[in-house]
A = this chain, B = another copy of it.
């Protein structure tokens, strides 16, 4: 997070006062491998930034899990629709490895929005990042085959993919574990 915070400060002019107000609102939270960070049905109260570790977001549909996102080091995550609308989340958020994350609550973010400049920035950057990722994902679901999607994932997060169980990767790619197992065999 220090890296990230430094990048933010370098890139945007933020007053010391604003900075402090913002920084003081951030909470560190840690979770162990397989912990549920947010249960579906509950309202997401945090917008997070990952310092370390890997998380996934998934929905449950007719006894199957649909993984909609992984979160890696230095990226934002949240069950963002729920966070924005204050309605129950239809997604679960789970730690895949032990994780250490920085979070800001909805109320504090709203306060920061009105009281400082850099809150807006934080909120805006998070919104941008999350929207852009969803758009890219949409295109990859529409234009690529399952095998191409897997290769893309490998390329983008080479060293991280090894920590993620095959079944989660498969549900993210949108195929069955069997099909992914065969793809792996084919390309190796």
Asked whether A2 is an interface residue with its Cβ less than 8 Å from the other chain, the reply is: no
* Contacting residues, chain B, for A171 (C-beta < 8 A): 142
Partner of A66 from the list B81, B113, B137, B142 (CB cut-off 8 Å) is: B142
Among the listed B66, B130, B139, which residue makes an inter-chain contact with A68, where contact means beta carbons less than 8 Å apart?
B139
| Chain A residues with a Cβ closer than 8 Å to the other chain, count | 25
A143 at the interface (CB under 8 A from B): yes
The one of B80, B132, B137 that contacts A138, using a Cβ cutoff of 8 Å: B137
* A4 interfacial by beta-carbon distance below 8 Å: no
Query: Residue A59 at the B interface, CB < 8 A?
Result: yes
Given A84-B128, A131-B80, CB of A141 within 8 Å of CB of B143: no
Decide yes or no: A143 and B85 within 8 Å by CB, A134-B134, A138-B68 being known contacts: no
How distant is A169 from chain B, measured CB to nearest CB, in Å?
Answer: 13
The number of times this chain is found in the oligomer is 2
> Are B142 and A85 neighbours in the complex by a CB distance under 8 Å?
no
B132 touches A81 (CB 8 A): yes
Q: Which of A106-157 contact B (CB under 8 A)?
A: 113, 120, 127-128, 130-132, 134-135, 137-139, 141-143
A133 to chain B, nearest CB (A): 9
Q: Which residues of B contact A66 (CB under 8 A)?
A: 139, 142-143
B135 and A61 within 8 A (CB): no
Interface residues of A (CB under 8 A from B): 59, 61, 66, 68, 80-81, 84-85, 113, 120, 127-128, 130-132, 134-135, 137-139, 141-143, 171, 174
